[in-house]
Amino acid sequence: MNDLGRLEDLPEAYRHDLRAKNLVPLWPSLRGVLPPHIPTRQTAATHWAYQDIKPLLLQAGALTPIEKAERRVLVLANPGHTLEKMQASAAMYLGMQLLLPGEWAPSHRHTPNAVRMVVEGEGAYTTVQGVHCPMVRGDLILTPTGLWHEHGHDGTEPVIWLDVLDLPLIYYTETSYHINGDKQDVSSAQSGTDYAVGSVVPMHVFEATAADNAHRDSPLASYPILRYPWVVARDTLLALAQSAPDQKVLQVVYTNPQTGGDAQNILGFYALMVRPGETAQLPVCSPARVLHQIEGETEVVIADQTFAMEAADTCCAPGYTPVAIRNTSTTTPAFLFMADEAPLHRKLGVYERRA
Ligand code: GTQ
């Protein structure tokens, strides 16, 4: 690699003249913005232990009433991006949210896409564009861009879930905003069972009536599933483990059954199973990844770092980096939720698999 001229090589008077006209010489920074062969990644391999988060989140419950918070969330911030940026990776935001019995997080909608992975507690629900979505441990609930959503809690114990948003990307592109709304009426617009079997899905034959057109034009029409129950993903993984005994990486992808494509536009969502005592080596790909332990215990090796993952722990890996998941139990399967930036990279034309 040839050395390029440095900024200090230029006369101060010339640099001053450039600055005064809002001009910058490229060559001192060329290698910085176009590094050789592999991108510079600020995303650092980072582990957040649930046993660290939970007491601090419960403290937030005592310190800040929901009315003062709207969303009572501790953000899992990647120190590589600096904590103030509230980013897990370039495009992913992670937050652990607490809702106490009887509390209500009021309706709003915003441009970032969000999902929730339910971590602990029973009795909470999210209403998404009028669709009632009960929150059960391991369920994935979508709140896609522009759809109204609010959270309520009829149970007796605190409920905690993990939020995954594409907020850093949406904020970076200067397209991030929200609108507050009124409490939603719950409609029967979507049933949890219409799409329960992927091989046979509803075919919407619309009558040309105003009401049916309104449904077709509704934001819900693009998102036929808003709640992916954990038992469905788990059963599919167990069946896959039986039918593919030589396969080490047992993975399912959360899809939109109407398109067969990713469940959302920007981030990809998956569930993984690792058999007792086995190690799953994930392919080296361009997108950053987030792993969240749903059941069991693993060791996640990200390049030269190893994280002990207990149930409800979360970690983050930069892109272009080898990731291996070792199930430390010899008797129980390990199940993880994964989010990545693959749909975004594919749309941008920068998706790569290197090994
Ligand atoms: O629950 O709607 O973690 O709007 C960040 C922003 C959660 C939510 C977050 C949000 C929400």
Q: Is 119 part of a structural domain of the chain?
A: yes
Does the C-beta of 95 come closer than 6 Å to ligand 1?
yes
How crowded is residue 306: how many other Cβ atoms within 10 Å of its Cβ? 14
Q: Is 142 part of a structural domain of the chain?
A: yes
Q: Is 355 part of a structural domain of the chain?
A: no
Q: Is 335 part of a structural domain of the chain?
A: yes
Distance 106 CA to ligand 1 centre (A): 11
- Distance in angstroms (rounded) separating the CA atoms of residues 90 and 92: 6
Distance 283 CA to ligand 1 centre (A): 31
Domain that holds residue 308: 46-348
Specify the pTM.
Answer: 0.96
To 5 degrees, how large is the angle CA 304–CA 310–CA 333?
Answer: 95
pLDDT value of position 3: 84
Whole-number Cα distances in Å, 157 to 45, 52, 101, 150: 33, 19, 6, 19
pLDDT value of position 189: 77
Does the C-beta of 166 come closer than 6 Å to ligand 1?
no
Distance 70 CA to ligand 1 centre (A): 9
Per-residue pLDDT tens for 49-90?
999 999 999 999 999 999 999 999 999 999 999 999 999 999
Q: Is 39 part of a structural domain of the chain?
A: no
CATH number for the domain including 272? 2.60.120.10
Closest ligand 1 atom, residue 143 Cα: 2
Q: Is 220 part of a structural domain of the chain?
A: yes
Q: Is 3 part of a structural domain of the chain?
A: no
pLDDT value of position 216: 63
* Ligand 1 pocket test, candidate residues 57, 72, 73, 167, most atoms within 8 A of CB: 73
* Ligand 1 pocket test, candidate residues 163, 184, 267, most atoms within 8 A of CB: 163
Q: Determine which helix (DSSP H) or strand (DSSP E) holds 169, and give its type and residue range.
A: helix 167-172
Distance 40 CA to ligand 1 centre (A): 29
Q: Is 281 part of a structural domain of the chain?
A: yes
| Sites in the chain below the pLDDT cut of 70 | 1-2, 205-216
- For the purposes of burial, counting CB atoms within 10 Å of the CB of 225, is it exposed (0-12), middle (13-18) or buried (19 or more)? buried
Domain total in the chain: 1
Biggest distance spanned by C-alpha atoms of the chain? 73
Q: Whose CA is nearest to atom 10 of ligand 1?
A: 71
Per-residue pLDDT tens for 181-240?
999 999 877 877 788 888 888 877 655 565 555 556 778 889 999 999 999 999 999 999
